[in-house]
Amino acid sequence: MRIVEPSAELVWCTPEAERIIEEAGRTCYKSEDAITDISAPKFIEMIIQRGHESVLEHASASFRIITDRGITHEIVRHRIASYSQESTRYCNYGKEKFGKEITVIQPSGIADQTEQYVLWSSAMRACERAYFNLIDAEIAPQFARSVLPICLKTEIIMTCNFREWRHFLKLRLAKAAHPDIQVIAKQIWEQLLEEAPTVFLWDNVQ
């Protein structure tokens, strides 16, 4: 059994995203002649303040997210997005390319070297043994997966337009959000902030 850290990696973003947003938005007002090298931030601030956020949909970004199955169940509830997720039907974790072991995400609420950690890790190893016993009994992975834990590591590519990323961050960075999805959301926000600082300035997202 292997334990890995959750992560979110930007794999693609609309090039010059804020310039594209400004150009699209100014088409509404036919004010393209006002575009300069430094005009996008002020324009974007204006459209956000006016609630004209449909203009933000002209830019998008894709992330490779590594988290557990429980968190991806929450992520895919965001409907205006595209997803491609690691499949436990077709991935046989008994194969060499998976290291012949399952990989899990340690919940943030369980600290190392505690009684809770011992209980959790013991349960994970029991799940792993049960899974491989089923695989050895020539049960197909799509059925053997029934004993895999909810904190099984999974990879998912998530693509959203900027308007939906703002909505995602507003919900998933909130104090009421699950602590483990907050970890992912914070990493996504920090990377989007580099790509489009005006769009994802926290005061603008809230």
For the whole model, what pTM was predicted?
0.95
- Please give the positions annotated as active site: 172
Domain segments of the chain: what residues? 7-84+155-205, 93-147
Beta bridge partners of 105: 4
**CA distance linking residue 42 with residue 204, whole number of Å:** 12
Q: Are 79 and 24 in contact (CB under 8 A)?
A: no
Structural fold of domain 7-84+155-205: Gyrase A; domain 2 (3.30.1360)
22-42 pLDDT, tens per residue?
999 999 999 999 999 999 999
Tell me: the pLDDT tens digits for 131-169?
999 999 999 999 999 999 999 999 999 999 999 999 999
User: Which residues make Cβ contacts (< 8 Å) with residue 134, sequence separation at least 6?
Assistant: 143, 144, 147
Q: Helix H segments across 4-114?
A: 17-29, 40-49, 69-75
